[in-house]
């Protein structure tokens, strides 16, 4: 019988090497007031600003925190995307779809809804920008946490020879999953989907397998080279970031996975070719018959372009939403112009906005941006920073 729930793997008694979160503090009243004021400035809620501020002040005074309305949370999540200095796709910030799961805090419940998030966002390849928000931190009571960097990540298996089979970025999370009882495929593969690792409060993490039907993967081929398909490469369709807490009006939602869709260069010029990940440029260059004896032959550059072509071609052939770095660069400048017209700053991290391929050929390369502000809120914050 098919099930919509993530399947829990057997528990293991051994403690896992994950630091328990610090006990959350009371919400800062000034931060809450600033957000409520911003919400009322940019939208047209039915209630008055003073009336809502009175409610929030009273609730914080009584409990140390407060509860966002659905409209406030939706607005906060969208503005957090708008404030994300490393994201080139912010033109679409106001279309982010919210799944309100604030009543869910058990590990099994969180894992189940993460699987539903993947299904809901994938839509057979017509990727929809989606965020699922789980229970928030409350004073003295941490909310649930997802320890995976993304909901879908490929394992990095350490081998006896010291090499890594799979994604070298994910060796630590793979080790953690195995310590918690994950039974990896034997023999281990290059594209084994890791289980979701979730903890609730100060309890030890638990692991949950992702059902195969929840992960859409695209097999990679090349428009000109038939041999490329023989490499048996693939990548998953939905990049759902899952370890960045969402902070809205002083309230922290530690588990709030969100996704847009891939840029072709993310996969073709980083994930599959970075030396500490799949390191496939030498393989591609060899199959293309390139001279790799010197960097001056530019074999890496040429091989990378062919890899990006293969990724873009494959996603297009599979009918899976994917942006390209030229089009998205133009759309980002449209977003910057709109923000400037609205009288808002548009912080941007140049090193992330400029694509890793043909950067100088894109319009985002040829200008400066407002410096990123780590204190700007609402925001998705680094998992190392929780305030």
Whether 371 shows a pLDDT value over 90: the answer reads: yes
Write the Ramachandran bin of 181: left for phi over 0, alpha for psi from -120 to 50, otherwise beta: left
pLDDT in tens, 177-206: 999 999 999 999 999 999 999 999 888 999
- Mean pLDDT value across residues 114-127: 98
Q: How far, in Å, CA of 172 to CA of 42, rounded? A: 42
User: pLDDT-derived band of residue 19, with 50, 70 and 90 as boundaries?
Assistant: low
Q: How far, in Å, CA of 125 to CA of 314, rounded? A: 12
The pLDDT of residue 16 is: 43
Residue 265: which residues within 8 A CB-CB, separation 6 or more?
A: 308, 325, 355, 356, 357
Which is nearest to 91 in space by CA: 329, 335, 260? 335
87 catalytic? Reply is yes
203 catalytic? Reply is no
**For 376, what's the count of Cα atoms within 13 Å in the CB-facing half-sphere?**
19
Which is nearest to 193 in space by CA: 9, 381, 33, 19? 9
Annotated active-site residue in 52, 87, 99, 113: 87
Q: Where are the beta strands (DSSP E) in 177-297?
A: 196-199, 206-209, 217-219, 234-236, 240-241, 246-248, 251-253, 258-259, 262-263
pLDDT in tens, 21-63: 777 889 999 999 999 999 999 999 999 999 999 999 999 999 9
90 catalytic? Reply is yes
The pLDDT of residue 386 is: 41
151 touches 110 (CB < 8 A): no
Annotated active-site residue in 266, 306, 328, 339: 266
pLDDT in tens, 63-89: 999 999 999 999 999 999 999 999 999
pLDDT in tens, 198-215: 999 888 999 999 999 999
9-37 core/surface letters (b: 16 or more CB in 10 A; e: else): beeeeeebeeeebeebeebeeebbbebbe
Q: Is the dihedral of CA 362, 334, 256, 375 positive or negative?
A: positive
Q: How far, in Å, CA of 304 to CA of 308, rounded? A: 6
The pLDDT of residue 13 is: 32
270 catalytic? Reply is no
Q: Is the dihedral of CA 205, 211, 213, 217 positive or negative?
A: positive
Annotated active-site residue in 90, 99, 145, 153: 90
Among 3-17, 48-62, 238-252, the minimum mean pLDDT is found in 3-17
Annotated active-site residue in 182, 261, 277, 328: 261
pLDDT in tens, 269-312: 999 999 999 999 999 999 999 999 999 999 999 999 999 999 99
Cα 382 to chain centroid distance, Å, stands at 11
pLDDT in tens, 338-364: 999 999 999 999 999 999 999 999 999
The pLDDT of residue 22 is: 72
**The two three-digit tokens of residue 262, written as one number:** 């891939």
The pLDDT of residue 20 is: 66
Beta-bridge mates of residue 132 = 99
């Amino acid at each position: 019988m098919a099930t919509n729930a993530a399947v829990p793997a057997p528990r293991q008694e051994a403690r896992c090497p994950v630091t328990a979160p610090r006990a959350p503090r009371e919400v800062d009243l000034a931060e809450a007031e600033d957000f409520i004021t911003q919400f009322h400035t940019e939208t047209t809620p039915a209630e008055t600003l003073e009336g809502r501020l009175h409610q929030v002040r009273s609730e914080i005074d009584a409990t140390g925190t407060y509860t966002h309305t659905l409209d406030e949370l939706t607005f906060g999540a969208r503005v957090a995307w708008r404030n994300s200095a490393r994201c080139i796709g912010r033109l679409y910030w106001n279309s982010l779809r919210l799944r309100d799961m604030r009543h869910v805090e058990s590990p099994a419940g969180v894992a189940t809804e993460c699987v539903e998030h993947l299904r809901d966002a994938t839509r057979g390849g017509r990727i929809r920008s989606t965020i699922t928000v789980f229970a928030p931190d409350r004073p003295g009571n941490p909310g649930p946490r997802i320890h995976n960097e993304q909901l879908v990540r490929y394992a990095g298996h350490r081998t006896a020879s010291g090499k890594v089979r799979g994604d070298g970025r994910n060796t630590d999370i793979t080790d953690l999953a195995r310590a918690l009882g994950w039974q990896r495929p034997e023999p281990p593969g290059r594209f084994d989907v890791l289980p979701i690792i979730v903890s609730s409060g100060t309890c030890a993490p638990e692991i949950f397998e992702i059902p195969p039907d929840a992960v859409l993967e695209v097999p990679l081929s090349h428009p000109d080279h038939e041999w490329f398909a023989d490499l048996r490469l693939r990548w998953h369709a939905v990049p759902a970031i899952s370890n960045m807490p969402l902070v809205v009006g002083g309230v922290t939602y530690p588990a709030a996975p969100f996704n847009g869709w891939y840029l072709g260069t993310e996969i073709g010029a980083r994930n599959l070719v970075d030396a500490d990940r799949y390191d496939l440029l030498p393989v591609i260059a060899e199959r293309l018959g390139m001279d790799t004896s010197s960097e001056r032959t530019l074999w890496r550059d040429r091989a990378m372009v062919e890899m990006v072509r293969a990724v873009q071609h494959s996603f297009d052939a599979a009918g899976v939403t994917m942006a390209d770095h030229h089009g998205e660069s133009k759309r980002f400048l449209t977003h910057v112009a709109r923000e400037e017209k609205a009288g808002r700053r548009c912080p941007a991290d140049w090193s992330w906005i400029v694509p890793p391929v043909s950067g100088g050929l894109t319009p985002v390369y040829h200008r400066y941006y407002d410096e990123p502000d780590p204190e700007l809120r609402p925001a998705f914050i680094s998992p190392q920073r929780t305030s």
